[in-house]
Amino acid sequence: MPFGSIGIPGLILILIIALIIFGPAKLPELGRAFGRTLSEFKSSTRGLVGGDEDEEAKKDKAAQTAVTKS
């Protein structure tokens, strides 16, 4: 089960409470904000785990591309 011990009834209860608190118009906006935050967090952790070598290689490749276009 992906959510541990919460279960389906617990998720439904959380969604109902969120719907009551934020209203139906705000929920999609909150979902998008949460998704953006999660993807930014993932990319940051990949950068930390992967090391700075990947970023340096990308910068070098971008610099070489800029030189060849000039």
The DSSP 8-state label assigned to residue 13 in this structure reads H
Q: What is the mean pLDDT of the chain?
A: 80
Could you give the CA distance from residue 57 to residue 52 in angstroms, rounded to a whole number? 9
CATH architecture of the domain with range 7-69: Up-down Bundle (1.20)
Summarize the confidence of residues 5-34 as an average pLDDT. 89
Whole-prediction pTM value?
Answer: 0.48
Residue boundaries of the structural domains of the chain: 7-69
**Contacts with 42 (C-beta within 8 Å, 6 or more apart), sequence order:** none
Q: Distance from CA of residue 44 to its chain's centroid?
A: 9
Could you give the CA distance from residue 27 to residue 25 in angstroms, rounded to a whole number? 6
The DSSP 8-state label assigned to residue 52 in this structure reads S
